[in-house]
Amino acid sequence: MVGAMRLLIMADTHVPKRARALPTVLWQEVAAADVVVHAGDWVEDGLLDELERRAARLVGVFGNNDGPELRARLPELASADLAGLRLAVVHETGPAKGREQRCARDFPDTDVLVFGHSHIPWDSVAESGLRLLNPGSPTDRRRQPHCTYLTARVAHGELTEVELHPVDRTG
Q: Express each pLDDT in 88-108 by its tens digit.
A: 999 999 999 999 999 999 999
The rounded percent of the chain whose pLDDT value lies above 70 is 97
Q: Which amino acid is at 141?
A: R
CATH class belonging to 5-167: alpha beta
- pLDDT tens, residue by residue, 137-162: 999 998 899 999 999 999 999 999 99
Which of the two residues, 168 and 35, has the higher pLDDT score? 35
pLDDT at 113 over 50: yes
Distance CA 50, CA 52 (A): 5
Nearest to 23 by CA among 14, 59, 124, 155: 14
Four-CA torsion 13, 106, 123, 52, nearest 10 degrees: -30
CA 38 and chain centroid, separation = 4
Distance CA 143, CA 102 (A): 25
Return the beta strands (E) in 83-157 as ranges.
85-90, 112-114, 122-125, 131-134, 147-155
